[in-house]
A = this chain, B = another copy of it.
Amino acid sequence: MDLVQQEMTRMGQQARQAARQLARASGAAKNAALNAMTDGLIRNTLHLQRENEKDLLAGREKGLSAAMLDRLTLTNARIQGMAEGIAQVAALEDPVGEIIGMKPRPNGLMIGRMRVPLGVIGIIYESRPNVTADAAALSVKSGNAVILRGGSEAIHSNRAIAAILAEGLEMAQLPRSAVQLVQTPDRAAVGALLSMNQHVDVIIPRGGKGLIERIIAESHIPVIKHLHGICHTYIDQDADVDMAIKLTLNGKMQRTGVCNATETLLVHAAMADTCLPPIGQTLKEAGCVMRCCPETLKRLAPLGGIPATDEDWDTEYLDAILSIRVVASMDEAMDHIERHGSQHTDTIVTRDHARAMRFLREVDSSSVMVNASTRFSDGFEYGLGAEMGISTDRLHVRGPVGLEGLTTLKYIVLGAGQTRG
């Protein structure tokens, strides 16, 4: 075993040990640690910025783009934001220990389930150093130990943040190794992390599609992931025209660089003449590029619509661009979503109850909506209080991942001496 593997194995063993302690920790102790982390980040603002400056210097030398340097920068406001994020997690209800579904069996046994932590979570992420604090807070609150592997371009910032988080744990008499940061920039550490299935229970990648595809290919540990968000707004034959305009505009343009933005608009043929011109006008005014199927183009060419290519239907623009297609039926819309969607979020605009229910049932995405903007697909909007990410996977958790998604349910059985006959 080489040095990197040895070091990762040691971290894995320590994480497992810490996870056992954290699983038994009271909500009060976990909150004390989170509050100490919040205080520590604020108190160490200058120190964090000095360490961050080292990353920025190296980044400038390496020629990182202005956008990447911006994401990397720890401004006062961002440090404040990280600290507040941890305080918000502390204020959430403790998910661990909840008991659900206790029911009596004919023999008098009471059987139900108790919510317990997953164990050890591995998080692999890219340049934003705030993920270090967010992910650690959610892990600690849900009773899990976490191993964090951030991008090498943020290594000094991440180290400084992680040291403050570990100190917060210690101040609450919880094990420092419940939050560990991989210290080496060596890429072999990722490979080692992804193979330690005896020490790590789940991997959660946060970053671009390239990062996530590499992790899926390599991992021997289950991965909770979303690859991308190709979200659809479908305007049904019975849609309210004003609502259709409003939801299309909001879904696409309220914020464009995010995974729950609408990327493709599907319009029932019966609505093409009434809906497309006002939608086209609204989008044009909002500065949105419209890539159109031939039927759409007939109506929107005068408003600046341009022809779509086959590739458009499979593209997550993350930009002020919308692909638009006219479909002959709801079935054709659902077929399109099945073929081109990414199982993230899809919405129908309709007044028809039966078709709304059919869409809800048959569209196989992690969030399916009726008469609501795709932009609502988010842990905070759903009332989860916090979000580790959004899963477009099927196993364990689907859709926004909050504290509950970082736990599992074990069976508990209360008896009075029953034996099996």
Instruction: List residues of chain A with CB under 8 Å of any chain B CB.
Output: 20, 23-24, 97, 103, 105, 109, 111, 113-114, 116, 118-119, 197, 201-202, 216-217, 219-220, 222, 240, 243, 246-247, 249-250, 254, 338, 347, 360-362, 364-373, 375-377, 381-383, 394-400, 408-420
Contacts and interface: CB of A to CB of B under 8 A. Distances in A.
B394 A399 contact: no
This chain's copy number in the assembly = 2
B24 A415 contact: no
A408 B401 CA distance: 13
Contact of A409 (B116, B217, B372, B398): B398
A198 B198 CA distance: 25
A361 B97 contact: yes
A102 to B, nearest CB: 12
A420 B373 contact: yes
A383 B105 contact: yes
B118 A394 contact: yes
Most B C-beta atoms less than 10 A away, residue of A366, A370, A372, A381? A372
A371 B417 contact: yes
A416 B369 contact: no
Contact of A394 (B114, B119, B394, B398): B119
Would you list the 4 A-B pairs with minimal beta carbon distance, nearest first? Answer: A372-B415, A250-B419, A399-B411, A396-B396
Given A250-B419, A364-B23, A118 B412 contact: no
Contact of A24 (B362, B395, B398): B362
27 contacts: A20-B338, A23-B362, A23-B364, A105-B383, A109-B376, A111-B382, A114-B360, A114-B361, A201-B394, A201-B395, A217-B220, A243-B417, A246-B419, A249-B419, A367-B411, A368-B410, A368-B412, A370-B413, A371-B416, A372-B414, A372-B418, A376-B418, A396-B396, A398-B408, A398-B411, A399-B409, A399-B410
